Structure 1
Amino acid sequence: MSATQLSSRRLSGALIGYGFISGNGHVPAYLERKRTTDDVEIVAVADICAARRELARKALPQARIYPDYASLLQAEAGRLDFVDISTPPCDHAKVAHAAFDHGLHVLCEKPLTTTLEDAAALLEHARRARRVLFPCHNYKHAPVAKKVREIIDSGRIGKVRALTLNTFRNTHAKGVTEWHTHWRREHRYSGGGIAMDHGSHSFYLTFDWMGAYPTAVTAKMSNLEPGRWDTEDNFSAALTFPNGVAYAQLTWTAGVRKVMYTVQGDQGAITIDDDDLQLAVMRRTDGPDVAQGAVTWEVEKYSISSHWMDASHVSWFNSMFDQFLVAIRDGDFVGKDAREAYLCIQIITQAYRSAADSCREKPLSAEAWHVPSVPMEREQGLRLGR
């Protein structure tokens, strides 16, 4: 069936994994979408946990429930258009490969995979299968992040030169109690700690806001409870870009849940504290330098409800899903988001190597999986998805 035919009717999807993000984020968004646009329906769910299957049955009484992804794909052959993979990251690659083998499009939670080799193989399989691979890069769809994009596009802060992205959490994101609450702290399930779990969000935002891809990374990390967990709980990285630098700090040991971002342009700056955004735009006067009054700033303040405290981020999902549908319609099988998901895994991989090598800088290549070279300017014809 062609992409155009798919986009003209209601899509049938299956959830693979019914944990916290599926139950609290994806399913409520799908149900809201069915009530409004009625262009998608979840008709099947697979989960290895019996208790979670029962909860899925209650949330989606019309869906067919399976004990694992393999039995779902076999039984549902010919009845699905896509799968939504929301398992722990250790299973993303094998489930996605199986879905492509069954001719299905794939929406996949981050991180796309836990190794760079798996990420490259997955993108190549999507290309061969001519099916869309689309990562859940949902932070770009937060209302406050969209406002940042709008301001950058307006040119009011000039050329972006530096970013800081600080993500504070007082604990690791907990899994469902019916299965395994602390799976994110076990490498065999997660592939890594907070860098693997949350790094993608920070990194793809830097691509978007810098309008470029990084060329090198240096990183440092720590595990404050090494006798209990085998993954890092604190991570910091510096990314070198052709046009500037970005700093990301991630922690699971903070005293507060919060995001704090800054975007520094050569004509102004944006500061984000959860839903509060401040824009400062430079205005020159007649003084000889800044200290003597040569520059003043016009300041605007906004409060943009983005529901950062809701870990499910359910209110951002359908904006992201709209782009998934566009990719299906356009036959954009390995689009910008998929290629950037690969680059996120490359950064995480090289950051781990940097931290293990006394924080030495490690190179990055935007060309590694046909990622467009920097800078990503609109006039070059690159689709930025904005």
Structure 2
Amino acid sequence: MRDQDLPRLSRVAVRARRELGARAVSRGWRVLVVGCGWISRHVHLPYLAGLRATGGLRSLYVADADPDRATRAARDFSAEVHTGPLERARADLVLVATPPADHATLTLRALATGARVIVEKPLALTTGDAAAVLAAARRHGGWVYPLYTMRHRPEAALIRRSVLAQRIGPVREMRASWLRRDGVPATQGGTEAGVLWDLGSHLVDLALWLPDWYGNTGKARAEHQHPAAATGEVPHAGWQHRERANQAIAAPKWHGVRAEATLDPERRLHLEASWAAPGIRRDQSRIDIVGEQATLTWHTVFGWSPDRRTVPAPTLWITDADGREQVLLHHQPRDPYAEYTAQLDTAFTALTAPTSDDAVGPLEAAYASTALLHAMQTSLDTAAPVPFDIRN
């Protein structure tokens, strides 16, 4: 594969992969991708095929519950199909990109073989499963890198530096929302865990990571939003595959969720996520970080939305107590491949030369976000506040 054949990768990114590959090839790694759905075909497999083409991998294998899908992926990315149990693959690195319900189990199985693991978000769907992965990694000296994409946006790094440098004072409140006008995933794997775990996992990860809100306990409450009976609208699956736009999705689970969490001491998080929010004309994401001296606002569009090209400027600003605004960034990146490949660059850099300035590592952060999301999910199911503990 030539440089110009690598989909949507800049020359800088290609050079980075050569550098990463030079370190990786010394191990002669065998990489297994488990799950050949949309995200693997559009992000993981092109990236890994490019890394292998520049000398970074010895061999690339794919596996999927659907044999035909695995065969197509192997053909399109010059990989080999692995059949049988994961344990027989003898992989040095396993990338887990299956539906969320399988993430923790497959990660534990891969760790037990001695492999390192990159796993799609969310790490798990329960606090217990996330704790099991964390314990297994610590017990066996294993390495797990969960992929929470939005923290790899360049704006996120700027926000975190600004917040930790006390530019807005101590943070007391976070408001995070991600609303799609018509963004229901088009596959069963995409919808089965619900919007809280799909969009909400990114929001909770950012809400904890940007102000470094780890090591807390508290209570969470959540409720479903705008069910079809109230709005007269039924969302349709048309996000990645427009030809499937007439496939109705059951309500109310698939519409939206609103959640709140109180974190000790006196910190509050407000979250809103929807795949098909009524009354909006464009997808929109917004995070307000409220400090004692000022509020930092990030107005953007996350993910693969076609509305990324139309988000109003500015995208990032600080408003002080007197209402004066200071613009930090006018425009957001328009190409979603930037953050999705950046997260893999970061993962492979950590894999080959582990360094981090964060006091809480990626796996510990994923445990914390899973614990908070699990409390919110339990509140959705019970209609009652639920305590959580995100210390680890």
- Would you call these one fold, judging by a TM-score over 0.5? yes
CA contact (8 A) 1:25 1:317 kept: no
For 2:381 and 2:108, locate their aligned partners in 1 and report how far apart those are by CA, in whole Å.
31
Question: Which ranges in structure 2 are unaligned for 5 or more consecutive residues?
Answer: 1-22, 230-247, 302-313
Structure 2 residue 55 is matched with structure 1 residue 28: no
- Give the conservation status (yes or no) of the 8 Å contact 2:61–2:81: yes
| CA 9–67 in structure 1, closer or farther in 2 if over 3 Å, else same | closer
Maintained 8 Å contact 2:195/2:255: yes
CA distance in 1, matches of 2:164, 2:348: 21
CA distance in 1, matches of 2:285, 2:39: 19
CA distance in 2, matches of 1:42, 1:49: 21
Which of the residues 38, 43, 57 maps onto 2:74?
A: 57
Q: How many correspondences in the alignment?
A: 330
Distance 1:352 1:264 in 2: 25
Correspondence for 2:223 among 183, 199, 220: 220
Query: Structure 1: which 5+ runs fail to align?
Result: 176-180, 283-289, 372-386
Quick one: which amino acid aligns to residue 329 of structure 2? Y
Cα offset for 1:136? 0.8
Flag the 1:314–1:98 CA change in 2: closer, same or farther, 3 A.
same
Tell me which moved more, 87-96 or 15-24: 87-96
Mean alpha-carbon deviation: is it higher for 251-260 or for 38-47?
Answer: 38-47
Q: Secondary structure at the match of 2:178?
A: strand
SS at match of 1:364: strand
Q: Does 1:318 align with 2:344?
A: yes
Kindly indicate whether the alpha-carbon contact (under 8 Å) linking 1:307 and 1:313 is maintained by their aligned counterparts in 2: no
Specify the alignment match of 1:279 in structure 2.
Answer: 317
Instruction: Give the match's secondary structure for 2:181.
Output: coil
- Cα distance change on mapping 1:243 and 1:210 into 2, 3 Å: farther
Cα separation, 2, equivalents of 1:323 and 1:364: 32
User: Is residue 305 from structure 1 mapped to residue 323 from structure 2 by the alignment?
Assistant: no
CA change 1:223–1:323 in 2 (3 A) is farther
Give the letter aligned to residue 120 of structure 2.
Answer: E
State the 1:330 CA deviation.
Answer: 7.0
Structure 1 contact 24–314 (Cα < 8 Å) conserved: no
Distance (Å, rounded) in 2 between the aligned partners of 1:104 and 1:111: 19
**Do the aligned residues in 1 keep the contact of 2:208 with 2:369 (CA within 8 Å)?**
no
1:260 to 279, 286, 293: 286
Q: Provide the C-alpha distance between the structure 2 equivalents of 1:278 and 1:44, rounded to a whole number of angstroms.
A: 41
Query: Structure 1 vs Structure 2: percent identity of aligned residues?
Result: 22
Contact 1:271/1:279 (<8 A) preserved = yes
CA deviation after TM superposition for structure 1 residue 297, in Å? 2.2
CA distance in 2, matches of 1:345, 1:223: 25
Cα distance per residue 1:321-358 (max 9 Å; x no partner): 245416x7479xxx722222222222222212323443
SS in 1 for 2:167: coil
Aligned 8 A contact 1:143 1:304 in 2: no
Q: Tell me how far 1:142 sits from its aligned partner.
A: 1.0
If the length of structure 2 is used for normalisation, what is the TM-score? 0.74
Helix, strand or coil at the partner of 2:329: strand
Q: Distance in 2 between matches of 1:355 and 1:158?
A: 33
Deviation (angstroms), 1:314: 2.8
Supply the distance in 2 between the matched residues of 1:93 and 1:212 (Cα, whole angstroms): 24
Instruction: Please tell me the residue identity of whatever aligns with 2:220.
Output: V
For residues 225-264 of structure 1, the aligned pairs below 5 Å read 229=250, 231-241=253-263, 242-254=265-277, 255=280, 256-264=282-290
1:14 to 32, 36, 57: 32
Contact 1:9 1:39 in 2 (8 A): no
**Aligned pair partner of 1:46 in 60, 63, 67:** 63
Instruction: Report the RMSD for the aligned CA atoms in angstroms.
Output: 3.1
Confirm whether residue 269 of structure 1 aligns to residue 287 of structure 2. Answer: no
